[in-house]
Structure 1
Amino acid sequence: MRGDGQPPKDTMTVQVLDFYADWCGPCKTQDPILEEIQDDWGDRFELKKVDVDEKQDTANEYQVRSLPTLIVENDDGIVDRFVGVTQREDIEAALEEAGA
């Protein structure tokens, strides 16, 4: 624990929720960007792909209205949300902010 009562950043669980559908063209553009980040960042975050056609309840819970939607969250909650194809730099900035 740090002095402010928060756990150290290196113990923060960070995940990226990738809301997509097989029929979504822009989602196919987003995939290689996420794969590159995952390859470079290793186990600093967990990538969870959520097929909105199969997991409508989860998509509704996160209020996903457009695809692709990326949600970066940590133990404290949602850190950032991106709608549409998102550039690597923006995703990495959100991962840093989340404590990855």
Structure 2
Amino acid sequence: MANFKEIINSGKPVLVDFFATWCGPCKTMSPILDSLKKEVGDEVVILKVDVDKNPQAASSLNVQGVPTLVLFKDGQVKWRQSGVVQANLLRQIINQYQS
């Protein structure tokens, strides 16, 4: 499997969900991201990163709380937000960076 840097530099928008298994709001994000993935298909990479298993990825982006969503395009952070984000807002943000 490709490493984190390769994935976020792939040229496609990459939405990274930093989560933890013990986090209640993270569990709320899961079905939202599943439905978003069905809509966007292969146009966007949706990546879930468990902060307890990958602390270096979280700390490299200064992720303090979970869930934190970060959208990358060409390796650059284009948007980030902590907390639960609804699918329609995520879709709008992704659409801005798709082309």
Shorter-chain TM-score: which interval? Answer: 0.7 to 0.9
Decide which moves more: 71-80 or 53-62.
71-80
Offset at 1:82? 1.4
Residue aligning to 1:81: 80
Identity %: 33
Residue aligning to 1:98: 97
- Moved runs in structure 1, 4+ residues, more than 4 A? none
Query: Residue 48 of structure 2: SS of its match in structure 1?
Result: strand
**Separation (CA, whole Å) in 1 of partners of 2:64 and 2:97:** 23
Q: Which has the larger radius of gyration?
A: 1
**Separation (CA, whole Å) in 2 of partners of 1:36 and 1:93:** 14
Residue aligning to 1:54: 53
Residue aligning to 1:5: none
Residue aligning to 1:22: 21
Query: Residue 16 of structure 1: SS of its match in structure 2?
Result: strand
**Separation (CA, whole Å) in 2 of partners of 1:52 and 1:73:** 18
Normalising by structure 2, we get a TM-score of 0.85
Give the number of equivalent residue pairs: 90
Structural mapping, 1:32-43, within 5 Å: 32-43=31-42
Normalising by structure 1, we get a TM-score of 0.84
Offset at 1:52? 0.2
Amino acid at match of 1:92: R
**Separation (CA, whole Å) in 1 of partners of 2:23 and 2:84:** 11
**Separation (CA, whole Å) in 1 of partners of 2:39 and 2:82:** 23
